[in-house]
Amino acid sequence: MHYKCFTAVTASVVLAACGGGDSAPMASPPPAKVEVMVSGVAVTKVQTGTSGIAVMEEKLRALTNPGPERQLVFLDGTGMQLAQYTPPAGWSLVDFARHASGETTVALTTMRDVKLVRLDRNAAPIGELAIADPQAATDPFYDSGGVHDDTALQPFYMHDAVRIAPVGEGVAMALRTGRNAVVAYRYDHTAAQGYTRAWRTLVEPGLSMFAISITSGTFDTFDQLTNHWTLRLDAGPAGDVAVGVVSRQDAAPIFARHADYFHETIAADWGVLVTRVAADGQRLGSTPIVSNRPVELHGVRVSGDDIGIVGRTFTAVASDGSGWDAYSAHVDRTSGTLRMYANVDVDHGDILFDIAPLAHGHFLAAGATGYTENPSGASISEQAAPLLVVLDPDGSVKQRIAVTPGPRQNQLRSLAPSGSDWLVGGMLNGPGTHSGDADPALIKADGFVHEVASP
């Protein structure tokens, strides 16, 4: 296989005693750091557990060849490959969740259908459930002329709109239906009965949504053309759920439809909407994060009483292409109060894909920086540097952690705890918007998982 493992261990020095023939005891070497590289694919998600490390890798695809092409790889604690799962023909792997038992749930899609598949420790399927939801065809729908498919469980335009998170041996799941409604579910799991649905909760009503295109270019570097179709989800250990979606006035006016259906005032058109669902499925409320400008959502993480949200937002029309900043926000998991929202501006364009809590109210965040984007378009440069930062509670940058860059586009996509350290998954040698215009072979990347010391 294409995984290579590098274990750098500090050498021990053995000292001889001066007066006798016995040597001093050899010091135990420190544990090896995980350092894996994978060629030809990006690493987009990393999770750790008692049975090792799970890595989702993705083959990058041109705009003319849409749809996710991902597979799941299991590694041991040192980064050596143990097993691999590739979805069956006709299905796409979109997300996964690891369980304390060492088993894993994967979510698979077609353009219409969704199913959950259970994998054992060796990545072998041991059960599955085709998701059926007759209510989806009759969920409330705000029709303004867009294309929709009432009987499908994925939007007409794409089938990467499902996310799952572990809740014990079961999962929380959220998806966007063919009516473009957002629905959350809880599925419990036992070895005897497999997956059984515990509850279903409507998060957002259906509405007409519209595609966004570009006039030139062959690759969607940050999935900016589809970000308003997707969603993000995480769950706490007790089963409470947070679901995030993007509202765009021009293509996905979710703020307006949400306000009308749930009778909640939102005096804005652009931003992110975070909905909290209790462990029993009761919808607790939604928190708008108003941007008043184009915004993307790339990460949601529940930790204790906090919901962390990250992405990027268009802050200025800058002639040098530096008008996009990353942002971080935090919502109180119990009350729904927006605790803070702050832009993160490091170097030219910035984006954050993941965020995780550290001690004393600080956060570790991962993304990319130093890219440029057409100030009046969507063309993103081929060059971008890795970004790993410690954020203060107010969202300001406390520390930038050095990460050795590779060629072309660099991205840090996922964070996972590993003892007292962190695993960072991402890619280098990735394409920009126009990299593959003349040579489609340049739409590629090389993935990695690095272990870094906790700051």
Which residue has 């984006």 as its token pair? 351
For the ranges 15-19, 248-252, 350-354, the lowest mean pLDDT is seen at: 15-19
Q: Output the six-digit token pair for 299.
A: 């990460």
Sketch out the chain's domains with CATH numbers.
3-11+43-453 (2.130.10.10)
The whole-angstrom separation of Cα 156 and Cα 134 is 17
Tell me the pLDDT band of 25, cut-offs 50, 70 and 90: low
For 39-82, write each residue's pLDDT tens digit.
999 999 999 998 899 999 999 999 998 889 999 999 999 999 99
DSSP single-letter state for residue 438: S
pLDDT of residue 9: 29
For 296-353, write each residue's pLDDT tens digit.
999 999 999 999 999 999 999 999 999 999 999 999 999 999 999 999 999 999 999 9
pLDDT of residue 10: 27
Predicted model pTM? 0.93
pLDDT surpasses 80 at 11: no
pLDDT surpasses 70 at 7: no
Element (H, E) at 234: strand 232-235
Do residues 76 and 88 lie in contact, with contact meaning Cβ atoms separated by under 8 Å? no
The whole-angstrom separation of Cα 343 and Cα 262 is 29
Residue 255: phi and psi, rounded to 5, are -55, -50
Q: Which class for 317: exposed (0-12), middle (13-18), buried (19 or more C-beta within 10 A)?
A: exposed
pLDDT surpasses 60 at 21: no
For 144-169, write each residue's pLDDT tens digit.
998 999 999 999 999 999 999 999 99
pLDDT of residue 13: 25
For 212-226, write each residue's pLDDT tens digit.
999 999 999 999 999
Q: Output the six-digit token pair for 89.
A: 């023909």
Percent of the chain with pLDDT over 70: 93
Q: Could you tell me which residues come within 8 angstroms of residue 125 by beta carbon, excluding any fewer than 6 positions away? A: 85, 117, 118, 119
pLDDT of residue 146: 86
